[in-house]
Amino acid sequence: MTSPSKGRSGREYLAIPGPSVMPDAVLQTMHRAAPNIYAGEIVDIAASLVPDLKLVARAEGHLAMYIGNGHAAWEAALANVVAPGDTVLVPATGRFAHGWADMAKGLGVRTQILDFGKRAPWDMDQIADALHADASHKIKAILAVHVDTSTSVRNDVAALRALMDDVGHPALLMADCIASLGCDRFEMDAWGVDVMVAGCQKGLMVPPGMAFVFFNDKADAVRRAMPRVSRYWDWSPRANPEEFFMYWNGTAPTHHLYGLRTALDMIHAEGMEAIWARHEQLARAIWAACEAWGEGGPLELNVADRVNRSCAVTALRLESPHATALRDWTEQNLGLTLGIGLGMAPPGDPAWHGFFRLGHMGHVNGHMIMGLLGGIEAGLSALSVPHGSGALEAAAKVIAEG
């Protein structure tokens, strides 16, 4: 073990867009001996998670839980509703839609990708054209990433449903809320989403390891008509378990269940509306600071229009190699880890060092965000990166206004 370098005593702060900061209460409840998995409180805890997760998703349908990460949720969702040779439409606003499309390709599914670049949301006219052109309804599902964590673009999922209804296209609307759930407003049923995938390591504040697939009756009917579904990914027994082991098709993620139980208690004590409002306010504080810095230097928010920005993650541009230098400086001197720029430039390309991201998802509050912004300001000064003044004042004003 090396001793902490200068300035790194004190609590470290991982401000990357997932995995996110874990509350002490979550860590503490996970610190326990192995529980019996055949009887006792773990069985009740598992059952109690289901309605509480549905409240977070604003969903009254079904929920299947998996041991896995976001990629597992992607594959699980696909495995239940699309078969080799089927087609999915994938509007992409960053790296993650391509990732989900790639999982579909791996299952033998045809992917029709509409790429809208890395700085703008879905172009509804182009999606409408693609749906109109599909007169024979070959497109079986639309894979819709709500918040792309690489670009911080937030897409309008409710508007996509309205568009599908206007066109009269019967495809399933499948949303990826891996970055947004518990951070940006999302209402599965009200927004007409048929399938939604999420993980536990961002807004749900639990270490990575649990994946969720929410689905409604329409999606379940598609599942029932599938020629075959792999036993492991099949959502039916998981959503309707006759015995405890069926929730996970095997051993339960025991300690995660305790962690998630505590996280959900915290979430529901605060309330979803309050959580969305908190994320929104903290995001506005970050944007205000970034705009002020940008007035006098190269720092720039990746997404120009705030209605298209996520409240969970902020992607920033800062002339190469300043972004990497800043990340290194805050980590080495402050114990503050900022997120790498993801998918904006190929690794190895000098441009790669011109992007970074801030995670502000889950267990975050005003003093953490002020500390994050103060750390960035110190780094910009230490590295002599030109930047405008008044950033911290601007952020503090947003927080003070409540």
Ligand X SMILES: Cc1ncc(COP(=O)(O)O)c(C=O)c1O
Q: Which listed residue (29, 80, 149, 151) binds ligand X by CB under 6 A?
A: 149
CA-closest candidate to residue 260, choices 46, 20, 17: 46
- Residue nearer to ligand X on the CB measure, 313 or 334: 313
Under rule CB under 6 A, residue 43 binds ligand X: no
CB of 197 to ligand X, least distance (A): 8
Q: Assess contact for 348 and 276: CB atoms under 8 A.
A: no
One symbol per residue from 82 to 101: x for binding ligand X (CB under 6 A), - otherwise; what is it?
A: --------------x-----
75, 86, 176, 234: which one contacts ligand X (CB under 6 A)?
176
Total chain residues near ligand X (CB under 6 A): 12
Q: Which member of 8, 37, 69, 130 binds ligand X (CB under 6 A)?
A: 69
Q: Which of 71, 138, 218, 278 binds ligand X (CB under 6 A)?
A: 71
Are 372 and 15 spatial neighbours (Cβ–Cβ below 8 Å)? yes
By CB under 6 A, the residues from 5 to 24 that bind ligand X are 18
As to burial, measured by CB atoms within 10 angstroms (0-12 exposed, 13-18 middle, 19+ buried), residue 33 is exposed
List the one residue out of 246, 328, 307, 300 whose CA is nearest residue 64: 246
Q: Does residue 145 bind ligand X (CB under 6 A)?
A: yes
CB of 179 to ligand X, least distance (A): 4
Rounded to a whole number of angstroms, the minimum distance from the CB of residue 148 to ligand X is 6
Q: Does 339 bind ligand X (CB under 6 A)?
A: no
**Three-point CA angle 174, 72, 283, nearest 5°:** 65
Choice between 293 and 356, CB closer to ligand X: 356
Q: Measured from the CB of residue 78, what is the shortest distance to ligand X in angstroms? A: 13
Report, in Å, the least distance between residue 72 CB and ligand X: 7
67 binds ligand X (CB under 6 A): no
The answer to the question of residue 375 lying near ligand X (CB under 6 A) is no
Select the residue interacting with ligand X from 61, 121, 182, 199 (CB under 6 A).
Answer: 199
Question: Looking at beta carbons only, is 49 or 143 nearer to ligand X?
Answer: 143
Using CB under 6 A as the criterion, which residues of the chain lie in contact with ligand X when the complex forms? Answer: 18, 69-71, 96, 145, 149, 176, 178-179, 199, 208
